[in-house]
Amino acid sequence: RKKRRMPSENNRFQLGTIGALTLSVVSSVSIVICNKALMSTLRFNFATTLTSWHLLVTYCSLHVALLMKFFDHKPIDFQTVIGFGILNGTSIGLLNLSLGFNSVGFYQMTKLAIIPCTVLLETVFLNKTFSGKIKLSLGILLLGVGIATVTDMQLNALGSFLSLLAVLTTCVAQIMTNTIQKKFKISSTQLLYQSCLYQALTLIISGPFVDNLLTGQNVFSFDYTQRVVVFIVLSCLISISVNFSTFLVIGKTSPVTYQVLGHLKTCLVLAFGYALLQDPFHWRNILGIIVALVGMILYSYYCTRETSVQ
């Protein structure tokens, strides 16, 4: 009887994973398009403060969902939750600072470095093993994304230091997202609800200072026209799905798979920009996207094969 139930449980898990991945891609691409309009067209360049509002709205929506009994509250260790929330908020702020103090090309290299760093940390500290085929597919993926996105590579000491901190905090935060869910046997929704407020508070306090440092403008003195407010509200609403799907994907798969998915989103955003927004592109961009997609397909194939064998 156990053997008969296993395929259906496995099918449900696979359907849940596919749903989480799809939700993550659709919501992330949607919010990028919305934020691009908000920042490029309407000149609202306060990314860190905007993220703090995203997290605050996500927390409020989850609190309403809890009151309506859509999920159960399962308290976990307070120090773990607050430490995890502050770490997540800090990693977001550092990524924004990395983008502000580096060239776009070096920032893209910073994002690419998250995958090998995650693999290294999981191998050293969690004794996790990655097969040669998985590593090869990840190498092809990183090569493709690098060809498609990395242009200039201007280095500076402060920018490099901020990038190093951003990579480390992001890797640790994403590994913790996976390990906390498994250790305390809680769902992605329960972890997001408990940590979201601390992430929001970290960025609400630091956001205006970080944004002022990067833009030279004060978020409180910005001219909030009706159009700007509409796009901010839309961005916050989409962010609920983005934040929820992030925890869902990492909990159902792994931090490395989430990063692979992130690079798929990058390729989709680039392709969307070329096809519909008529952004300028070069043969390198198209070649890079194709190589990256080959790497993603190989990664998915080898992960599925290795999971089915276990």
Structure confidence by residue, pLDDT tens digits, 93-103:
998 888 888 87
Q: Residue 2: pLDDT band by 50, 70, 90 thresholds?
A: very low
The predicted structure's pLDDT at residue 3: 44
Q: Residue 5: pLDDT band by 50, 70, 90 thresholds?
A: very low
What pTM, to 2 d.p., does this model score? Answer: 0.80
> Does residue 111 have a pLDDT over 80?
yes
Least confident range from 49-63, 203-217, 250-264: namely 250-264
Q: Residue 41: pLDDT band by 50, 70, 90 thresholds?
A: confident
> Does residue 25 have a pLDDT over 70?
yes
The predicted structure's pLDDT at residue 12: 64
Structure confidence by residue, pLDDT tens digits, 117-162:
999 999 999 999 899 999 999 999 999 888 887 766 666 788 899 9
> Does residue 270 have a pLDDT over 90?
no
Structure confidence by residue, pLDDT tens digits, 55-99:
999 999 999 999 988 888 888 888 999 999 999 999 999 988 888
Average pLDDT over residues 19-32: 82
Which residues are CB-neighbours of 78 under 8 A, at least 6 positions away?
none
Q: How many CB atoms lie within 10 A of CB 40?
A: 10
The predicted structure's pLDDT at residue 55: 94
Name the residue with higher pLDDT: 201 or 157: 201
Average predicted confidence (pLDDT) for the chain: 86
Whether the CB-CB separation of 210 and 96 falls below 8 Å is answered with: yes
The predicted structure's pLDDT at residue 148: 82
The predicted structure's pLDDT at residue 145: 87
> Does residue 4 have a pLDDT over 80?
no
The first and second tokens of residue 70, run together, are: 């859509």
The predicted structure's pLDDT at residue 32: 79
Distance (Å, rounded) from C-alpha 116 to C-alpha 118? 5
Distance (Å, rounded) from C-alpha 46 to C-alpha 229? 13
Average pLDDT over residues 206-226: 94
3-class DSSP string for the chain: CHHHHHHHHHHHHHHHHHHHHHHHHHHHHHHHHHHHHHHHHCCCCCHHHHHHHHHHHHHHHHHHHHHCCCCCCCCCCHHHHHHHHHHHHHHHHHHHHHHHHCCHHHHHHHHHHHHHHHHHHHHHHCCCCCCHHHHHHHHHHHHHHHHHHCCCCCCCHHHHHHHHHHHHHHHHHHHHHHHHHHHCCCCHHHHHHHHHHHHHHHHHHHHHHHHHHHHCCCHHHCCCCHHHHHHHHHHHHHHHHHHHHHHHHHHHCCHHHHHHHHHHHHHHHHHHHHHCCCCCCCHHHHHHHHHHHHHHHHHHHHHHHHHHHC
